[in-house]
Amino acid sequence: LWDTAGQERFRSLIPSYLRDATAAVIVYDVTKPETFANVDTWIKEYRDIRGNEAACILVANKIDLELSRQVNESQGKSKAAENNMFYFELSAKTGENVQGMFKGVAISLQPQ
């Protein structure tokens, strides 16, 4: 499990991690629309290296901050559907649905 946190300083390392990745979990912050805007870039980068059939999960984080939310659930679900991805909403802070997301990763890795 590798977490690059989307930080620019790790950008050059990402392709080497993706080459051997079995799945990717692309996480955005529901309170920061710019992180959602970057989702397409991350999906493309992963699938350019691993192919379109590679397991890829889209995760909306910080759902505990409902009053600050700027990316709604339907936007996330739509993006996931467009890209044939599982979609989860969770709060890393409270732990809400974190276990469900990891179960989703496991399911996505099972042969179809």
CATH number, position 57: 3.40.50.300
Q: What is the mean pLDDT of residues 30-45?
A: 96
Query: Model's pTM, two decimal places?
Result: 0.89
Q: What is the pLDDT of residues 47-73, one digit of tens each?
A: 999 988 889 999 999 999 999 999 999
Question: What is residue 19's predicted lDDT score, i.e. its pLDDT?
Answer: 83
Any domain includes 3: no
Any domain includes 2: no
CB 17 within 8 A of CB 24: no
Q: Is 80 exceeded by the pLDDT of residue 112?
A: no
CB 31 within 8 A of CB 68: yes
User: How many structural domains comprise the chain?
Assistant: 1
Question: What is residue 8's predicted lDDT score, i.e. its pLDDT?
Answer: 64
Any domain includes 18: no
Question: What is residue 9's predicted lDDT score, i.e. its pLDDT?
Answer: 66
Parent domain of 34 = 25-108
